[in-house]
Amino acid sequence: MNALKMVGEFYFSQLIGQSIYDKAGNRFGRVKDIAVRWEGVYPRVIGVKYANKIHNLIPIEWIVLRDNDRVELVENFTVDQTVPLHENDIYASKWLLDKQIIDIKGSKMVRVNDIILSWVVQDGKQHMVLVAVDIGVRGLFRRLGLEFLFTKFKQNWLILEFIKPLESWNSHLQLNRLKQQLTELHPADIAELIEEMDYKRRANFIENLDDQQAIDTLAELNLDTQVEIIEQMDAQRASDILEEMAPDEAADILGELPVEKSEGLLQLMESDDAEEVRELMQYEQGTAGALMTNEFIAFSSHITTEEAINQLRELSPTAETIYYLYVMDDEEHLQGVLSLRELIVAAPQTTLKELMHTKVAVVQDEDNYQKVAEVINKYSLLAVPVVDEQNVMVGIVTVDDILDILMPERGKLDTYSWFALTKTAGRGR
């Protein structure tokens, strides 16, 4: 197949509203819109809508553009030679013009002020394609006939490779391209885009992500947005996502839903995952128990460091953090703690009982957030263990979790940054 060659670019705003004349010179309509179909690299223009309330199209192969504000046909116009709008075709102005889109390259929401079209030649045939959108101020004033006042402003185009329209599109090819593009974005960037969207579009957007990306993105959103999205999603998909999320995050979301909706989603989840979430939901808001996760790594004091490392390889994917390893007895009472570094550098046959620190900073499951924050800050911890009245370890609260509560507008702060900050603060005291 020969390469695609572009032979002339122009703006949608220059085309819309132009009079249409057939070969005999008869004027029979105006350009109301253009229908496009996503085939290959760019959406291809299929035909021109020439009148209101008529959805049959003038085939694009008939069209000749003139510089004197008119569109001419290479044939005489007859209604029976027009073509119907296919189910995978969509009108360009409805799809893009004045719509918010995602600039995938810049990870931001932008508005389409105009559309750039081009005639292209491939295999000896001429086609019209959409190649870019204009998101700059010049595009807006071009449509008003005032672009001449803004010629000092740079053109601001986005080629279609780097955009994602928020309007629905039926083409499987376009959807596959979108998923491939979104994999290049960090979940935090996708979360920012979702926060800027109209609430009606958010759940639909999440539905287009694969499960892992949906989970990672939801984790970056604020709780109100998480609840809103889960509430609008298909129940089975929502339950699948919730059971793969950290139990404390799933519990927070379900705790904000109506009881009937929450219980329905729990019933759809795997029983073990649902049970972990239910355990966390029983705690009152504002307590360490409500904030903690019950995913942590604990070992018996009698095993060696070599045995612990082998077990760690199997357990680490399910744990929220492995900076600290906890040591418990058979009744799950907390006996000690050690760091991952201490485990790795120790001799292989050293037992954890020999290695662990027995003086462990803990919080009670009924302690409030302020108490948790004080302990984490005092001892410069990345996570603090939570115990009940019998000193049974029931979970951990990570520094990220407490910062999300006490500094909700802080943005995400990774645990290494927190550790560095608290160490610096400690040296200053």
410 vs 213, residue with greater confidence: 213
Cα–Cα distance list, 2 to 45, 101, 120, 161, 240 (Å): 20, 32, 12, 21, 46
Q: Is residue 325 predicted with pLDDT exceeding 90?
A: yes
Cα–Cα distance list, 316 to 216, 311, 312 (Å): 17, 9, 6
What are the pLDDT digits (tens) for 199-230? 777 888 888 788 888 899 998 898 899 999 99
Q: Is residue 424 predicted with pLDDT exceeding 50?
A: no
Q: Per the structure block, which two tokens stand in for 344?
A: 């790795």
Ranking 129-133, 148-152, 234-238 by mean pLDDT, the lowest is 148-152
The one-letter code for the residue type at 330 is D
* Mean pLDDT of the chain, nearest integer: 83
- Spell out where 270-406 has E strands: 298-299, 324-328, 334-339, 363-364, 383-387, 393-398
Residue 212 has a CB neighbour count (10 Å cut-off) of 12
Q: Is residue 338 predicted with pLDDT exceeding 80?
A: yes
**What local confidence, expressed as pLDDT, does residue 137 receive?**
87
Q: Is residue 176 predicted with pLDDT exceeding 80?
A: no
Candidate ranges 124-128, 191-195, 316-320, 330-334; pick with highest mean pLDDT = 330-334
231 by DSSP, 3-state: which?
A: helix
**What local confidence, expressed as pLDDT, does residue 395 receive?**
94
What are the pLDDT digits (tens) for 82-140? 988 887 788 888 888 888 777 766 667 788 899 999 888 777 677 888 888 898 889 88
What are the pLDDT digits (tens) for 254-297? 999 999 999 999 999 999 899 999 999 999 989 999 999 988 99
**What local confidence, expressed as pLDDT, does residue 392 receive?**
95
Q: Terminus-to-terminus CA distance in the chain, angstroms? A: 72
**What local confidence, expressed as pLDDT, does residue 172 receive?**
38
Q: Per the structure block, which two tokens stand in for 321?
A: 């953090």
Q: Confidence class of residue 2 from pLDDT cuts 50, 70 and 90?
A: low
Q: Confidence class of residue 3 from pLDDT cuts 50, 70 and 90?
A: low
**What local confidence, expressed as pLDDT, does residue 429 receive?**
32
Compute the Cα dihedral for 269, 272, 276, 281 and give only its sign.
Answer: positive
Distance CA 307, CA 315 (A): 12
The answer to whether residues 91 and 49 touch, using CB atoms and an 8 Å cutoff, is yes
Q: In the chain, what are the domains? A: 5-164 (no CATH), 169-282 (1.25.60.10), 298-407 (3.10.580.10)
| Runs of H (alpha helix) within 55-132 | 92-95
The answer to whether residues 247 and 329 touch, using CB atoms and an 8 Å cutoff, is no
Share of the chain above pLDDT 90, in %: 40
**What local confidence, expressed as pLDDT, does residue 77 receive?**
85
Q: Per the structure block, which two tokens stand in for 205?
A: 């957007």
State the greatest distance between any 2 C-alpha atoms of the chain, in Å, as a whole number.
98
Q: Is residue 337 predicted with pLDDT exceeding 70?
A: yes
| Nearest CA-CA partner of 96 in 166, 49, 159 | 166
Q: Which residues of 245-262 are buried (b: 16+ CB within 10 A; e: fewer)?
A: bbbbbbbbbbbebeeeeb
| Nearest CA-CA partner of 252 in 285, 275, 209 | 285
203 by DSSP, 3-state: which?
A: helix
Distance CA 86, CA 96 (A): 18
Q: Per the structure block, which two tokens stand in for 107?
A: 């990870």
Q: Which residues of 31-52 are buried (b: 16+ CB within 10 A; e: fewer)?
A: bbbbbbbbeeebbbbbbbbbee
Q: Is residue 197 predicted with pLDDT exceeding 60?
A: yes
**What local confidence, expressed as pLDDT, does residue 7 receive?**
59
302 vs 42, residue with greater confidence: 302
Cα–Cα distance list, 344 to 304, 319, 324, 355, 383 (Å): 11, 18, 12, 11, 19
Q: Is residue 360 predicted with pLDDT exceeding 60?
A: yes
271-281 vs 235-244: helix crossing angle, rounded to 10: 80
Q: Confidence class of residue 52 from pLDDT cuts 50, 70 and 90?
A: confident
66 vs 231, residue with greater confidence: 231
Residue 90 pairs with which residues in a beta bridge? 36
Q: Confidence class of residue 49 from pLDDT cuts 50, 70 and 90?
A: very high
Candidate ranges 41-50, 190-199, 311-320; pick with highest mean pLDDT = 41-50
Residue 85 phi, psi dihedral angles, 5° rounding = -75, 120
Compute the Cα dihedral for 78, 80, 83, 86 and give only its sign.
Answer: positive
Q: Is residue 243 predicted with pLDDT exceeding 70?
A: yes
Question: In terms of DSSP bridges, do strands 70-73 and 27-30 run parallel, antiparallel, or are they unpaired?
Answer: unpaired
39 vs 249, residue with greater confidence: 249
